Structure 1
């Protein structure tokens, strides 16, 4: 059984270099991302030029601008940085199948039995460094027998333990007390006997097999992944290096700082196991079909895609997934590839519902000299939730709804979306507002559900609504018998109302600065049924307006 070897990768400038890959000119100027630390804005990831200018991560933004007037900043994007780290996760799979993320800016790789494939650990480290340089990334690595040891070497192998602030409790002791303290040997009082140190290069990031403990001795205590308050307390006691902790008795450390400090120390030295748990690879669903002779007829392509779709849907159904977007690729015998996407209104794994959408776009494929391979991939898929079966009474109550929002309506939305674009198909949903023009929302039909429980207003609403238009009549709150609107004279035959609607006082809407409104339904002599209201006047003058028309 080979000795366990762990590689830790740290990308200290991940957030900044991700944006530099998109905007290369940012590499030539001091550049940093800005993160939010409570109510303050601080620097996140820095470019090399920004670090050379004396800036540091966690520095307040105003102080950074005072030090470097030419600093350019961009908001930090943790979600996109996590996605970029996922891309690096797939790249790291070339070195070992046992790769785990070390959020937010690192990876951990179990190299056990894999380093010899790259010429040893030094050759593998050179390959990692070269690959990251080609990607425009700065990387620091560490290789040790334990995860904690590799993590410490990657981040602190070139740092000095340094000195604590002037308030160090050890530095404040009297010289005589310090002299007596230096003569007392703690191992005479039950402590751990110090081990002999072998000659080891402190700047090396690769700890030889079995020498992880010695490699950790000169590193600062922060390399053991302690919380900052614990690191500060240790520094005040004069325990600045890992070696200072290793020679201390465990019981007093555990009583003063908790069992977590002792566990971190044991994990780094290998006394307590710390496994590397690789992230599960994402589910990918794709099928392909190769032909002995090239095909070019539309019916042949449709038949092949039909069989492939059935195979793909069977795989999706076994994983309880439903496809939302399909990517169809046609590889021609002249080494050209054509592709198109098909989007369904709902995620499903039913071939008979997907094939009509595929047939609508088959005319986009130019077979040319012939197609020798077809491929279908589920570009976007979603989990299919388990349906709860209803009883007879519940089924009867929801039967009408299923007719209106069942598979037929979803398929119609999908077909219209394939022709017009899925974003062009919308539906209305009720909104939590009593204002007439805000009582409904317009949502994308493919990413929303049909609404049934619409609130019932005190009075019926008109079929058509438009911005309020002024009406010329007497300035009285009673419904007018005659009025002029849109350049025409109108006579009122019947009126119903009023319905008072007050503005939303918590919002400053310019259209509702006229104060409360009294709405009336007016039947005119021309056969039109109009929706008029009288504005009582708030910050504007009162008057009559027309807001809509009934069917």
Structure 2
């Protein structure tokens, strides 16, 4: 007899009840979560009030509104539902360390050796139901020796097997005259099963009693495809018990090996382990003091002892720090918090220590600090860089000799004072428009550009939005013009360089059409970048776009 006990939790109204928890101000009444499916809005989840109105999952929204005029709908947020299911998985960790998600609306828990801690299996399910009721969630539980059997009990316990057959027999004719909803599964348009809040007797299969618990359930409880279920029903194989007595070879030959495999998983002949999600890596160290401290030297001495420990753990996992939090817990139960960031992920204590030292002065020790704690808020994988080719190898050697981390350390130190998000760098962009040849990126989260594409002509050091120049409205270069309230004279000029706008974009600064650019040296000693706009959607004229150094 197997000693393995698997608990399956099904949250049939997970999507709707998540919305009700997130939007506390929702008016009471029917609620449906809808999603786009084949260019049609269909229902993916319902609350209890909507189910009581006769609505069903998979029903078109237009039909649902015709049946229930007061129906309130919300669009489905699949990532939010997945995150909510992950939160429920963490909650279920109180019952067993082996908890896995069964998307989109279920959990699987391996309760082997854990039920006695709660007084038994029925008592444990009672605790689960009470917790879910407190969270505003509907839940159905199934407990058996196998994962497949537990899944079937959670979703189909107490549900009679239906039939889709029609024929000349009196019993079949009687079934054919019944309501179609009464003999179809509720997920395909039939009536929803009536489930009480406590249904532990029908959802718990005693150890070794999997055969008897699964026999009366419909074949859909084996997690089969809808086409296979319909074929089985047409042949009169409507209950799992009808399949257990059939030769496996003929079942596999007629319906495929998937049916036999699911049947073996439910009965325990084929393994189906519970694979819990790996716990996320958590990197934190702390140090407590027998007596409170408050001097900067003492705090740095403590950091020098615990920071290498944290960095060693990061290095062992192949991770690098991006954001680090320092917590100084005082004797009056208050805590001083400082956060530092790195421009490049790393686990070198020599690079992190100066950033922490810059934050120590802002910590108010109060009546003394009795504990220091360092926690890695954000980490990233640190991969070894592969250098190929002579040019890259030479650059790597020069960087190693000159200290390639100097610029990153500088960015980190400046970021500790003014914030990493305020430090930016330019990267080349694919555009022939002068002001669009570079894009601004955060220096801490981008690599420095190695090679800039050469410009066809020299570009000014300073550029601004085009400013009007008072000069004759002709393409001929003016000898005198007025700009920024001053009179200027031409000493020398080179050009023109014709630049056309990006016709596929509507840029307000380029509605002047094609431009002819000139580099003009004025008699006053300035080198200006002037252009003549040929009109386009605006009037033509002369403009100043920049100034050379």
TM-score scaled by length of structure 1: 0.87
2:532 to 524, 531, 534: 534
Quote the residue 2:348 is aligned against. 350
Quote the residue 2:420 is aligned against. 422
Quote the residue 2:101 is aligned against. 101
1:211-226 mapped onto 2 (5 Å cutoff): 211-226=209-224
State the aligned residue count. Answer: 524
**Which secondary structure state, in structure 2, belongs to the residue aligned with residue 204 of structure 1?**
helix
| CA displacement at 1:389 relative to structure 2 | 5.4
Q: Is the 8 A contact 1:285 1:316 kept in 2?
A: yes
Deviates more, 1:106-115 or 1:386-395: 386-395
2:88 corresponds to 1:84:
no
Q: Is the 8 A contact 1:327 1:378 kept in 2?
A: yes
Quote the residue 1:56 is aligned against. 56
Quote the residue 1:139 is aligned against. 139
Q: Deviations over 1:61-119 (max 9, x none)?
A: 44444544544444433333333322322222221222222122222111111111111
| CA displacement at 1:290 relative to structure 2 | 1.5
The 1:371/1:255 distance shift into structure 2, 3 A limit, reads: same
Q: Take 2:411 and 2:488, find their aligned partners in 1: how far apart are those partners?
A: 42
**Which secondary structure state, in structure 2, belongs to the residue aligned with residue 263 of structure 1?**
helix
1:256 to 219, 236, 254: 254
Quote the residue 1:394 is aligned against. 392
2:371 to 361, 370, 373: 373
The 1:403/1:123 distance shift into structure 2, 3 A limit, reads: same
Q: Take 2:530 and 2:159, find their aligned partners in 1: how far apart are those partners?
A: 77
List gaps (5 residues or longer) in structure 2: 174-198
Q: Take 2:273 and 2:5, find their aligned partners in 1: how far apart are those partners?
A: 11
Quote the residue 2:440 is aligned against. 442
1:201-212 mapped onto 2 (5 Å cutoff): 204-212=202-210
TM-score scaled by length of structure 2: 0.87
Q: Is the 8 A contact 2:288 2:370 kept in 1?
A: yes
Q: Deviations over 1:365-415 (max 9, x none)?
A: 322222222211112111110233568753324566779993111111111
2:159 corresponds to 1:156:
no
Q: Take 1:496 and 1:370, find their aligned partners in 2: how far apart are those partners?
A: 70
Quote the residue 1:324 is aligned against. 322
Q: CA RMSD in A?
A: 2.8
| CA displacement at 1:213 relative to structure 2 | 2.3
Q: Take 2:94 and 2:255, find their aligned partners in 1: how far apart are those partners?
A: 41
Deviates more, 1:349-358 or 1:43-52: 43-52
Q: Deviations over 1:283-308 (max 9, x none)?
A: 11111111122222221112101211
Quote the residue 2:507 is aligned against. 509
2:439 corresponds to 1:461:
no
| CA displacement at 1:263 relative to structure 2 | 0.7
The 1:355/1:67 distance shift into structure 2, 3 A limit, reads: farther
**Which secondary structure state, in structure 2, belongs to the residue aligned with residue 364 of structure 1?**
coil
The 1:211/1:335 distance shift into structure 2, 3 A limit, reads: same
Q: Post-superposition, which runs of at least 4 consecutive aligned residues in structure 1 deviate over 6 A?
A: 176-179, 400-405
Q: Take 1:405 and 1:74, find their aligned partners in 2: how far apart are those partners?
A: 55
| CA displacement at 1:224 relative to structure 2 | 1.3
**Which secondary structure state, in structure 2, belongs to the residue aligned with residue 352 of structure 1?**
helix
Quote the residue 2:548 is aligned against. 550
Q: Is the 8 A contact 1:2 1:112 kept in 2?
A: no
1:245 to 240, 243, 266: 243
**Which secondary structure state, in structure 1, belongs to the residue aligned with residue 25 of structure 2?**
helix
List gaps (5 residues or longer) in structure 1: 165-169, 180-200
Q: Is the 8 A contact 1:99 1:276 kept in 2?
A: yes
Q: Take 2:49 and 2:331, find their aligned partners in 1: how far apart are those partners?
A: 50
Deviates more, 1:120-129 or 1:132-141: 132-141
Quote the residue 2:276 is aligned against. 278
Q: Is the 8 A contact 2:16 2:33 kept in 1?
A: yes
**Which secondary structure state, in structure 2, belongs to the residue aligned with residue 277 of structure 1?**
coil
Q: Deviations over 1:458-505 (max 9, x none)?
A: 112222222222333233333333323333332222222222222222
| CA displacement at 1:144 relative to structure 2 | 0.7
**Which secondary structure state, in structure 2, belongs to the residue aligned with residue 28 of structure 1?**
coil
